[in-house]
Structure 1
Amino acid sequence: MRETTTVRPKPLLRPVRPAGWWFDALLLAVFVALTGALAGGLLLDLDLTVSAWAFDHDPAPLYWTARVFNLLGQGGWLLMPVSGALALAVAWRRHSVRPLLFVAGAFLLTTLTIGPLKLWTDRAAPTASVKEPFLAPEEAVEIFNRLPAGAYSMSYPSGHVANAIVWYGVIAALLVAFTAGRLPVAAYRLVRFAPPAILLVTTTYLNFHWLTDGLAALALGLLLDRILHRVRWDDVPLPGWLREWDRPFTSYP
């Protein structure tokens, strides 16, 4: 009698590091706790102190250097176009639409979370004290403010930082796929981690965001990044007419 073997079903989600859901819960707890602390009036003095120091220490060479590096966080004409171009290149090389699904997933995930949170928290940027609506710093720093909709009432969390964590993770993963896994580890880590760190510093120094905007964005961005990379993009169901372009996409280590 032939012995039958059982085939283990493939896990629905990919493992991420650190493994398990405890780190996701920790990141969410940090974001909620930080938001609650700001709503209760805590940490506002810290934000005001850091902002005042940045306003008082902005010599032109340092200021414009920070402005140039801050361009790393431009989503509309840098992050998404670069990600889209890389996804198309990998899709053509692999003859698979799955890299495009990866980019679409990142777009949906960031659009449905970061923007609505900014609208909900209604926090002005530090520069709202020197530009319209010319708020006093003590008023601009408040979260859950009652401000008119506009460019200076969507500061929390920092979209530059949160988007950078997600999109540079996508770019790094696509570079791994494009190079067929031959991308040096040092280059992968540089693309993955350097831009978010630079943007945390530059957006705070330039007074585009309060310090706590960036810290909250770190927690949120890491959480979104883990969610995105948990998905097994090779196993997402596709319609039959895409059968010729339904090939595995193993773009991330």
Structure 2
Amino acid sequence: MGRYGWRVDAGLVAGFAVLTGALAAGAFLDADIAVRDWCDAHRPEALRVAAKGLYFLGSANLIASILLVVAALLAVRDRTPRPVLLVLVTAAASYAVVVPLKILIDRSAPHAPWHDAVELFANDAGWSYPSGHVVNTVIWYPVLVVLAERLLRRPLGVRTRRAVLLAPVLIVFVAVTYLGYHWLTDCAAGLLLGLALRRTLARLPLEHAGTSTPAGTLTR
């Protein structure tokens, strides 16, 4: 990660904390509402269906299930538990970090019936902040790169790697906001948290063996 790696991590965590504090104080709430209302007014059926399909690119259940099968096959072929452990540790880390924050921060979804749905720490039923789907795209697609390179026994091309790592993040960020599943700042928080978590996971010795470069390279 380089000599400044932990400083970058601290900056990402600090950014998440500052954004959360600002939202709790009332900042950016009007912008969140304005974005939600604009999306509601500009959502023809064809775009809604397309966004709904793209939304599943951030489904942890779907991604983890597929990658676990691939990891198990690689573990048998290469006679090492590392691929399976990589998937399991990523899933555990995501759950351990994201779920408690969702429970603690108590923010409702954009179309929740509560008058204070946009506010943080306002409703015990709220699970909107941060966006788990955005976090998923940041932490799971590097795992996909690692497993793909292990399967192929060669590194992916730079453009392919960038596309796999970056495109799902952008697509899901836009899709969940456009569909009204998350506030815009839910997704911004998910991006900051996901990058911090990804960088931490990239330090583990589970993904480097058998590949030429760690999949966290592009998040440095």
Match of 2:24 in 1: 39
Offset at 1:17?
A: 6.5
C-alpha displacement of 1:183: 2.5
Deviations 1:41-73 (A, max 9, x none): 111011011011011111111111111111111
Find the partner of 1:199 among 159, 164, 172: 172
Q: Please say if 1:249 is aligned against 2:209.
A: yes
Q: How many residues are paired up? A: 213
CA distance in 2, matches of 1:73, 1:18: 31
CA contact (8 A) 1:73 1:199 kept: yes
- TM-score between both structures, scaled by the size of structure 2: 0.91
Stretches of structure 2 lacking an aligned partner (at least 5 in a row): 215-220
Give the C-alpha shift of residue 18 in structure 1: 8.7
Matched AA of 1:179: L
1:175-199 Cα deviation digits (max 9, x unpaired):
1111112432222222211111101
Secondary structure of 2:111 counterpart: helix
Instruction: For 1:228 and 1:91, locate their aligned partners in 2 and report how far apart those are by CA, in whole Å.
Output: 19
- State the TM-score, normalized to the length of structure 1: 0.80
Aligned to 1:156: 129
The structure having more radius of gyration, on CA atoms, is 1
How far apart are 1:215 and its partner, in Å? 0.2
Q: Which has the higher helix share?
A: 2
Q: Mapping of 1:110-125 within 5 angstroms?
A: 110-125=94-109
Taking only aligned residues, the RMSD between alpha carbons, in angstroms, comes to 1.7
How many percent of aligned residue pairs carry the same amino acid?
Answer: 39
Q: Which moved more, 1:36-45 or 1:177-186?
A: 177-186
- Secondary structure at the aligned position of 2:5 is classed as coil
What is the 5 A alignment of 1:153-192?
Answer: 153-192=126-165
User: 1:31–1:216: 8 Å Cα contact kept in structure 2?
Assistant: yes
Deviations 1:95-114 (A, max 9, x none): 11111111111011101000
Aligned residue type for 1:87: A
Partner of 1:241: none
